[in-house]
Structure 1
Amino acid sequence: MPDTVDDLVRLHAGAHSAKPMVIDSDCRLGYRELDCSTADLASAFIDAGVSKGTRVGLVMPNGVRWVQIAIALTRIGAVLVPLSTLLRAPELVAQLRTASVQFLITVEEFRGHRYVDDLRSVLDVDDPTAPLHCPELPALRQVWPADQLPKSPGVSTVDAVAATVTPSDPMVIMFTSGSSGAPKGVVHSHGSALGAVRSGLASRCIDSETRLYLPMPFFWVGGFGSGVLSALVAGATLVTEEIPQPDTTLRLLERERVTLFRGWPDQAEALARHPSRTETDLSALRPGSLDALLPVGRRAQPGSRATLFGMTEAFGPYCGYPADTDMPHSAWGSCGKPFPGTEVRITDPDSGRPVPAETVGMIEIRGPHTLRGICRRTREDVFTADGFYPTGDLGRLDDDGFLFYHGRSDDMFKVSGATVYPGEVERALRTIDGVENAFVTNVPGTSGERVGVAVVCSARTPAAEELRSSARALLSAFKVPTVWLMLGSDDDVPRGGTGKVDVRRLRDMLIEAGRP
């Protein structure tokens, strides 16, 4: 079974030579062309000084060219460092330094960001022709504009270099996108990343006939692992676009006869509501796609299908269930079961000791598909003595091995000595008529922590007292929010650059709302 990117490219170039591997709004690339074009590009990189183990940063929006560059680099054992197009210059500097990036490939401008100009400004490099060599980025050797990459020397050197790459070699450094704290540079090898992807393909309903639409940015593991590498491992076709917009996305889905739509539920719902939806032929979509775009009769009942659950450290989902199949009723609302190759245990957050089934605790994972390490951290600092990675997530395993998510451990707090799990409170509040969404966190008070919630309500906005009364019927008294903030829409919820809720800003808003 192929366990390096180069092995996969060669396999599918022979087996699926004419099939498209990746399609964007303006371009398509078949498996044979992927092999040839990335071999030429890889030879150019080698000639320019990129070798096995060289760390190369990439700042680009989704598209065929992103895939070509990433595959070319990883085929020869260079370590790909995908960097967010959302980063501000100081954030970009921090991640380049953390990952010890030696070469940087970047588009000139995207959505108002001028990456090289911004870097020069923050690093005080005034001369636009001067290289970005500076004490802040001691490893950085060269910056290449994405449209001015090195040219092939004409003699391919890929075979000899690619032959030295093994499954244990590092392939990628993915930065996490947590809601608090500095992002971590998570290291995955060819073997861990490709193994993680392979273990979840069946549950995600991806096979060689799949035409997968995925809007998630490739600089996230949800885009790179669940999109680019999922297509490559399965021999499938990936359909993506630089900037999703309802009109263009619907046309793309119809034109390319997309069979599997994955991504964000709110994007699927927006497409379903769009005036052009009724005129768009999406009959190729099959179960396993997000429900909003499927005919009513083919949609699953709420909670019956697993919510794929994973993280950057697991290289995407590590827990799930076939996306086109109902789980046993006792498991509704769960994340499914751990995929082959990943061991999950639940431990007491304070003692670190394993807890019995049905007990909420820290989720820890172990196995060949988990991260190889974190940049600038020791192995002892990352893993337990017996090799588990404490995820920071809270959950419980039922007697049948289904995993239920209960929020983040760093979000957990105590009220009058009793533990409150924000995720549990949020799920309860979302069942109240008129509540579309709820976001819970702790709010400091004169006599200790209080439960605060920002609530997004539908057109029928319940009165605050009505909400409190409904919450008291659903939750223990200490879990009922005492600080309420009513929001008009999800757009009013503070979020960071990655789209996750900014808990610190949310807490500040609740503190202000709770003032006498």
Structure 2
Amino acid sequence: MHQHGIGAWLVKRRLKSPHTVALIHGDGSTMTYGQFADATDRISAVLREWGVGRGDAVAYLGENSPEFLQVMFAAAQVGAVFVPVNTRLAAPEIAYVLADCDARVLIHDPDFAVPVVAATSTARTPHVLVTGEGAADRPGLAHLARAAAAFTDHADTTHREPAAIVYTSGTTGRPKGAVLTHGNLTWVALNCVVDYDVVSTDVALMISPLFHVASLGMGALPVILKGATMVIEKGFEPGRALAQIERHGVTMLSGVPTTYQLMADHPAWASTDLSTLTKLTCGGSAVPARILNAYEARGLSFAQGYGMTEASPGATALPATMTRVKQGSVGLPHFFTDVRITDPTGAVLPTGGVGEIEVAGPNVFPGYHGRPEATAEAFTADGWFRSGDLGHLDADGYLYISGRLKDMIISGGENIYPLELEQLLTEIDGVTSAAVIGVPDERWGEVPWAILTVREGASVDTDTVRACLDGRIARYKLPKNVVIVDELPRTASGKVRKADLRTRFGV
């Protein structure tokens, strides 16, 4: 075997740490690395029996589970490409993903049988298989894997070959499939090991969906690379998450600000033993001060970061020790990654200059599946990925995000960066989350509106918001209107879908 991709990882883990617990799931069931590797081999054998090989797409639709990871590694072992499907998609959207990647296999949880039937009626995926035992007339993955022949035929793969296609959130138009190579996934895992100090004795609680690249590339893969232990949760429920931390001595936890806020607001927060937690990471958006305060009161602090699907996804990391020193920053470039800021002409800007964030490194993808024009547009002539985000670097090289290039508001000729406003808005008492969009205005071209969610019983309106912000930012940046909503529309990664807000408010 000359497998240099992620398909070799479990083979090597079986040799190095066969008796170490790899996965804890469900009611506390455990799976060692030896058992994990053996189960994966059996699924690889099933894929081989179906003729799945190099370059074929193997799609998976399901919640977090051991089977999710087994199918991913099994696909890698036969040289196939793993395609995690967002569980929140409707049947037509699932059909689009299956057709776009030309999936040869779809493996899904039983809970998604209805949308799968509708999706595969048009996508025409040759092999559709349910996890578990299945039925007498349609055996499931577990049944077929037990009966499969021994698997020893590992594909020879290199770091340059595709390992996964991860579809972007599709906030505008059809989602694009970002092709992530074996090298991309290896290097992003190494970046996490270096910058987040992942060690073999860690116990990581996986509460974010694995179909999202942040959970997969920066959560599961570093843990497996180091031979640590992962507690897999099917979904997120704050009380259960707190209980699992105490029960299993969890040391690592990743989430988005909303995740951490819900845990801190839970009745069990004060009584839960959190003494084993040493590594908290947060992505999606900056951690509001109220959340920092709540966790610091328990002796906990956050590492933060910035990234995108196309970077597998990590681009920068802010260590917990710098959370207050560089508050508002998303950190320094990851160890094996570089970041620069450019103006509209492509010229690199000096320190402090706000421009487009560009990323380079072995974790950056080679392009979009079947989209040569979109791929060409995504890269500069010298090979840097154009993120579409605005930001600046300070004198120490720390990155600060200003917002999406397309979200920038130009009011009376002045640039307004929504993220600056959003961070201040979340500091107002009673505000639980905030999004700022530009709304057309006859006099100024466009003006900022604040779309907020607020704590039950809180009194927040346009006048109070403007009063709280007046004197802290230029007056032209003050929201001209404040709208209170029950919740903000979000992608699977927790990012606000501003296109939905623009549509809702007639922009």
| TM class, shorter-length | 0.7 to 0.9
Q: The residue matched to 1:276 in structure 2 has which SS?
A: coil
| Separation of aligned partners in 2, 1:502 and 1:319 | 22
In structure 1, list runs of 5 or more residues that go unmatched.
124-135
Change (3 A) 1:433 1:245: closer
| Separation of aligned partners in 2, 1:269 and 1:462 | 19
Match of 2:22 in 1: 21
| Separation of aligned partners in 1, 2:180 and 2:464 | 49
1:498 positional shift: 5.8
Instruction: Name which of 195, 199, 202 aligns with 2:194.
Output: 202
1:368 positional shift: 1.3
1:460 positional shift: 4.9
| Separation of aligned partners in 1, 2:67 and 2:145 | 15
Match of 1:130 in 2: none
| Separation of aligned partners in 2, 1:436 and 1:293 | 14
Instruction: Name which of 349, 353, 359 aligns with 2:347.
Output: 353
Instruction: Name which of 217, 233, 236 aligns with 1:241.
Output: 233
1:332 positional shift: 2.7
Change (3 A) 1:38 1:473: same
Change (3 A) 1:231 1:142: same
- Judge conservation of contact 1:483–1:510 (CA < 8 Å) in 2: no
Q: Which structure 2 residues correspond to residues 375-390 of structure 1 after superposition, within 5 A?
A: 375-378=369-372, 379-390=375-386
| Separation of aligned partners in 2, 1:509 and 1:151 | 48
Q: Aligned AA for 1:252?
A: Q
Q: The residue matched to 1:253 in structure 2 has which SS?
A: helix
Alignment RMSD: 2.6
Change (3 A) 1:355 1:169: same
Instruction: Name which of 115, 128, 137 aligns with 2:123.
Output: 137
Cα deviation, 1:235-287, whole Å, max 9, x if unaligned, reads: 11111211332343333222222112222333333333333345543332225
Q: The residue matched to 1:395 in structure 2 has which SS?
A: strand
Instruction: Name which of 468, 473, 476 aligns with 2:474.
Output: 476
- Judge conservation of contact 1:178–1:500 (CA < 8 Å) in 2: no
1:34 positional shift: 1.4
Q: Aligned AA for 2:76?
A: T
Task: Among all aligned residue pairs of Structure 1 and Structure 2, give the percentage whose two residues are the same amino acid.
Answer: 30
Q: Aligned AA for 2:475?
A: A
Change (3 A) 1:103 1:355: same
| Separation of aligned partners in 2, 1:423 and 1:103 | 41
Of residues 85-94 and 377-386 in structure 1, the stretch that sits farther from structure 2 once superposed is 377-386
Of residues 445-454 and 87-96 in structure 1, the stretch that sits farther from structure 2 once superposed is 445-454
Q: The residue matched to 2:451 in structure 1 has which SS?
A: strand
Q: The residue matched to 1:473 in structure 2 has which SS?
A: coil
Match of 2:117 in 1: 117
Of residues 88-97 and 375-384 in structure 1, the stretch that sits farther from structure 2 once superposed is 375-384
Match of 1:221 in 2: 213
1:230 positional shift: 1.7
Match of 1:371 in 2: 365
Say if 2:448 is the partner of 1:446.
no
Say if 2:318 is the partner of 1:321.
yes
1:433 positional shift: 4.7
Cα deviation, 1:86-139, whole Å, max 9, x if unaligned, reads: 1101111111122221211112324xx72323326xx4xxxxxxxxxxxx536x
Cα deviation, 1:373-404, whole Å, max 9, x if unaligned, reads: 11122242332111011011111111211111
| Separation of aligned partners in 1, 2:499 and 2:295 | 37
- Judge conservation of contact 1:364–1:388 (CA < 8 Å) in 2: yes
- Judge conservation of contact 1:441–1:452 (CA < 8 Å) in 2: yes
Match of 1:126 in 2: none
| Separation of aligned partners in 2, 1:286 and 1:6 | 30
Q: The residue matched to 1:494 in structure 2 has which SS?
A: coil
Q: The residue matched to 2:12 in structure 1 has which SS?
A: helix
Q: The residue matched to 1:406 in structure 2 has which SS?
A: strand
Match of 2:333 in 1: 338
Q: The residue matched to 1:80 in structure 2 has which SS?
A: strand
- Judge conservation of contact 2:209–2:235 (CA < 8 Å) in 1: no
- Judge conservation of contact 2:206–2:253 (CA < 8 Å) in 1: yes
Query: TM-score scaled by structure 1?
Result: 0.86
Change (3 A) 1:295 1:345: closer
Change (3 A) 1:508 1:175: closer
1:295 positional shift: 7.0
Change (3 A) 1:337 1:2: farther
- Judge conservation of contact 2:3–2:158 (CA < 8 Å) in 1: no
Match of 2:39 in 1: 37
Q: Which structure 2 residues correspond to residues 43-54 of structure 1 after superposition, within 5 A?
A: 43-54=45-56
| Separation of aligned partners in 1, 2:298 and 2:268 | 21
Q: The residue matched to 1:318 in structure 2 has which SS?
A: strand
Match of 1:133 in 2: none
| Separation of aligned partners in 2, 1:33 and 1:368 | 31
Instruction: Name which of 68, 76, 87 aligns with 2:70.
Output: 68
Match of 2:397 in 1: 401
- Judge conservation of contact 1:180–1:503 (CA < 8 Å) in 2: no
